[in-house]
Amino acid sequence: MTALLVQLKKHPLVVELLAKCDFPLAGTKISCAVSGGPDSMALLILAVASASEVTAIHVDHALRIGSENESQVVENLAKSLGANFISKTIRVEPGSNLEARARNTRYEVMPHDVMTGHTADDQAETVLINLLRGAGLSGLSGMQRSQRHPILALRRTQTHQLCRELKIEVVEDPSNTDPKFQRNRIRHELIPLMDAIAQRDVTAILDRQADLFREDSMLLDDLAKKIDVTDAKLLAVAPVALARRAIRQWLTEIYPPDAATVERVLEVARGTTLACEIGSNREVRRSQQRLQIFTK
């Protein structure tokens, strides 16, 4: 056991924060995505303190000068904690949707069950981003509380405090303050303004609302699964909220449909039209009161 790990076991803040986290049983092999920022470094610290067998994975996007050196910061902490370390480099070309493309590419090179350092503050930002995109109840549910997001109940102030108290070197990513990214404007402009208007901690409210939305969404999903979506007559008379969910569940086997596609399929079920496009060179047709997907 390393000297730092011995210190962690006794640190009051570590004990306090661990009680709010969702790590698996001691001895479980887990991997953590660690960029070097305070949130992901706190994730690594708490994961090791939970007695899991941890592998820290750092991904360099090669988007800025000197980014290749940040992996050393993560490796140093991993070694001091007795954790395994893996470094990967990916290439993301500059252009539109850079943040989303970088995220997708990053996850492609990591295990599907990799843990991330998302906090309650990230959850609140995600809810607002999805609201601005016009998302439904599922989108407003944000990220699900699970072992993929074990520190989702923590606040960003707590992860930063943990790194400060343990004197952990962290990486400061300048892109986290760049206003060209929507999330940064929500983080640094919108949420502080909402706090001021509401005279309350809006992040805590949004985090709680996401949990409520998720519970409602899961119930509706369960009810929608009981509908035979290929039965056009049954689908047409079902409550529209459930009908839409049933259609979305059905088409998601191909790809997640947008709202307009779901409405077109619903019109086919109602008999308004006999067929409609659903994308990917496919269409839904109605024949003898049944809905079927055909490749064109």
Q: What CATH number is given to the structural domain containing 64?
A: 3.40.50.620
- Average pLDDT across each block of 10 residues of the chain; the chain has 296 residues. List them in order: 78 95 95 96 96 94 71 94 92 68 79 95 97 90 91 97 95 86 95 98 97 95 96 96 96 89 96 93 95 92
241 and 106 both lie in a single domain: no
pLDDT of residue 70: 86
CB 170 within 8 A of CB 163: yes
pLDDT of residue 248: 95
Q: How far apart are CA 138 and CA 226, in angstroms?
A: 18
For 107, the enclosing helix (H) or strand (E) is helix 98-108
pLDDT of residue 175: 79
161 and 22 both lie in a single domain: yes
- Beta strand residue intervals within the chain, DSSP E: 29-33, 53-60, 84-89, 275-279, 282-287, 290-295
Decide if 218 is inside a domain.
no
Decide if 234 is inside a domain.
yes
Q: How far apart are CA 275 and CA 263, in angstroms?
A: 12
Decide if 84 is inside a domain.
yes
25 and 107 both lie in a single domain: yes
**Residue whose C-alpha is closest to residue 35's, from 77, 2, 3, 1:** 77
Q: At what angle do helices 38-49 and 70-81 cross, to 10 degrees?
A: 20
CB 36 within 8 A of CB 145: no
Query: Residue 192: what residue type?
Result: P
Q: What is the pLDDT of residues 187-240, one digit of tens each?
A: 999 999 999 999 999 999 999 999 999 999 999 999 999 999 999 999 999 999
pLDDT of residue 64: 66
108 and 170 both lie in a single domain: yes
Decide if 39 is inside a domain.
yes
Q: Residue 67 is encoded by which pair of tokens?
A: 């980014």
Residue-range definition of the domain harbouring residue 264? 225-295
97 and 41 both lie in a single domain: yes
Q: Indicate the SS3 state at residue 37.
A: coil
- pTM score of the predicted model: 0.87
241 and 111 both lie in a single domain: no
pLDDT of residue 280: 85
34 and 155 both lie in a single domain: yes
Q: Which sign does the torsion angle of CA 153, 156, 159, 162 carry?
A: negative
Decide if 244 is inside a domain.
yes
pLDDT of residue 94: 66
pLDDT of residue 66: 67
Count of the separate structural domains present in the chain: 2
pLDDT of residue 9: 79
Q: At what angle do helices 240-251 and 202-224 cross, to 10 degrees?
A: 80
CB 48 within 8 A of CB 120: no
